[in-house]
Structure 1
Amino acid sequence: MAFFFANVEIQIEGSAGWAANLPTWRVEKHWLLDIFWGGRAMTGYHAWVFSFMALVFFSPLAFNGRWSWRDAALALAGVMTFWMVEDFVWFVANPAYGWAKFDPGHAVWHPHWLFGAPVDYWIGLGGAALILWLLHRRGGSARQ
């Protein structure tokens, strides 16, 4: 899914990442963006896309007719992993970037980097791994 969605975004955004050239509203600076959005601008495009993908990952809980914290945690880990992979594939598959331009000088919408990757990747990876570890530690079959 992440590969396909990244390619859709490449077709939509081209070389202008983070919806820079799209006809959408933007909030460039706000203290809440620093806390919840990694310091990046909030755009109408991203508000709708992120909401849509959250619904994609959480909709099985509604359509199955049952709810559990375990399933919700798995959906959260899934959507976190999806966005990390999708963002990375966007760079690697985008003809305007590629692996060579996966750095803070070219990906200016990722303002914070650590060990060669955006800090968001490390937070997402750690968060998803923590969720999966906690679920595995609890036995994996507990339904609440």
Structure 2
Amino acid sequence: MTGGIVKPWQIGLTLAWVALLGLFFAQVEIQIEGAAGWAANLPTWRIESHWLLDIFWGGRPMTGYHAWVFPFIALFFHFPMIFLAQWSLRLECRAIGCIMLFWIIEDYLWFVLNPAYGVAHFNPAHIAWHKHWLWWAPTDYWVSLLLASVLLWFSYKRKS
């Protein structure tokens, strides 16, 4: 649905589904990584520092794990368009906005549900790989939330 009238429940269902996917993937990553987030103890290659990582990755290392997981999730969110053989700029914006929300939710839930962290340890003192914080959350969350909101607004707004 890219041009018709969108009912509020459709938007709510989409957001709830993205949150559910984030919950499930957070649990998968907790089982894989344990207390050592950002693939710290996984048997994978790592690039610890590079100026491009500072710009595009928030200063976090690039790992083989993340090099495969990030595109996998992007492909997963694009599957409905492939399955239905339907693409539009609005659907692409919706998919990208949902991907951005997914990563915010998944990352936050990874900390909150992980027995090694919990809500009490969701802060810069305990989370070394989120280097930049604004108020009570990593800067990435705020930037992604803003961009996702714009993309989702565009994807759901009525055509003029």
Q: For this structure pair, what is the TM-score category when the shorter chain's length is used for normalisation?
A: over 0.9
CA positional deviation for 1:130: 1.1
Kept after mapping to 1: 8 A contact 2:124/2:133 = yes
Task: State the partner residue of 2:81.
Answer: 61
Matched length: 140
List gaps (5 residues or longer) in structure 1. Answer: none
CA positional deviation for 1:134: 2.8
1:48 aligns with 2:68: yes
User: For residues 91 and 123 of structure 2, what CA distance do their matches in structure 1 show?
Assistant: 35
Task: State the partner residue of 1:26.
Answer: 46
User: For residues 78 and 86 of structure 2, what CA distance do their matches in structure 1 show?
Assistant: 12
Cα-Cα RMSD: 1.2
User: For residues 87 and 30 of structure 2, what CA distance do their matches in structure 1 show?
Assistant: 35
What TM-score does the superposition give when structure 2 sets the normalisation length?
0.84
Kept after mapping to 1: 8 A contact 2:104/2:144 = yes
User: For residues 155 and 95 of structure 2, what CA distance do their matches in structure 1 show?
Assistant: 12
User: For residues 99 and 11 of structure 1, what CA distance do their matches in structure 2 show?
Assistant: 18
Distance 1:86 1:24, change over 3 A: same
Task: State the partner residue of 1:10.
Answer: 30
Q: What secondary structure is seen at the aligned counterpart in 1 of 2:80? A: helix
Task: State the partner residue of 1:113.
Answer: 133
User: For residues 52 and 136 of structure 1, what CA distance do their matches in structure 2 show?
Assistant: 25
Q: What secondary structure is seen at the aligned counterpart in 1 of 2:36? A: coil
List gaps (5 residues or longer) in structure 2. Answer: 1-20
Task: State the partner residue of 1:132.
Answer: 152
CA positional deviation for 1:107: 0.8
Q: Deviations over 1:34-56 (max 9, x none)?
A: 11111110000011111110000
What TM-score does the superposition give when structure 1 sets the normalisation length?
0.93
Q: What secondary structure is seen at the aligned counterpart in 2 of 1:105? A: coil
Task: State the partner residue of 1:90.
Answer: 110
CA positional deviation for 1:133: 2.5
CA positional deviation for 1:61: 1.2
